[in-house]
Amino acid sequence: MERTARYYTLGPEDGGAGISAIWFVLHGHGQLAGAFVRFFSDIAAQGALVVAPEALNRFYLVSADSAPARERPVGATWMTREDRESEISDYVEYLDALYDEIATVRTAPPPVTVLGFSQGAATATRWVLNGRAPIERLVLWGGTTPPEIDHAHNARLRHIGVTLVAGVRDQYITEEILAAERTRLESVGVNPEVIQFDGGHVISRSVFPRLLSLNGASDR
């Protein structure tokens, strides 16, 4: 069974040889990819191709009695608790297919970073661990690895770079949660880079220079 999905890109106009890196950026709960991708224009300006896939499940963000359907804002979510395993399997397959469409058409695909924001952090981790795309760096921004990660996955996580990003005023990823996530990863041999910034549960451009230096993209 086929399913139609949409994604958005930012990057070099030629879409080919001029690309220094590929960044897949996964939005959070209730967001849409078309708006989310705009946060990453600074990364695209450094020669990277930024790809923002949209989650397969859309919903109205406000109740039916608050406004007519044509006026209610729409967001997307990667999954809910309902039929959870199928949802995960579907989006891993979707993201692998998107990687094939974007990267394998190139003779030598550039390095791939996956960045997941908020709910997208768990989605990104599951893709890295269960998909087939060769990913070099995982960035978890305002989110954490999913609870089912176990020792069977450790080897793959240890062979890629992992970065944790959180605002110092993030109401969801507090200092305690961030420290616990770092300890959890370190206990299984993963040594994450941790970046904090002056802000809340948002994407902040102030972090991009650090992320780009970790990827080597700022050397362009």
Q: What is the pLDDT of residues 122-141, one digit of tens each?
A: 999 999 999 999 999 999 99
Closest CA to 116 of 143, 135, 89: 143
Q: Is residue 101 within a helix (H) or strand (E), and if so which, with residue range?
A: helix 84-102
Whether the per-residue pLDDT at 219 is higher than 80: the answer is no
Q: Using one digit for the tens of pLDDT, what is the confidence trace for 44-96?
A: 999 999 999 999 998 777 677 777 777 788 889 999 989 989 999 999 999 99
The residues pairing with 59 across neighbouring beta strands, listed in sequence order, are 75
Backbone angles phi, psi at 164, to 5 degrees: -105, 130
- Of the CA atoms within 13 Å of residue 28, those in its CB half-sphere come to 12
Domain boundaries, the chain: 7-214
pTM: 0.91
Options 3.40.50.1820, 3.90.180.10, 1.10.10.60, 1.10.287.610; CATH for 7-214 is 3.40.50.1820
Cβ(92)–Cβ(127) under 8 Å?
Answer: yes
Q: Is residue 77 within a helix (H) or strand (E), and if so which, with residue range?
A: strand 74-77
Tokens of 203: 């994407």
In whole angstroms, what is the distance from residue 220 CA to residue 212 CA? 10
Classify residue 207 by its DSSP letter: G
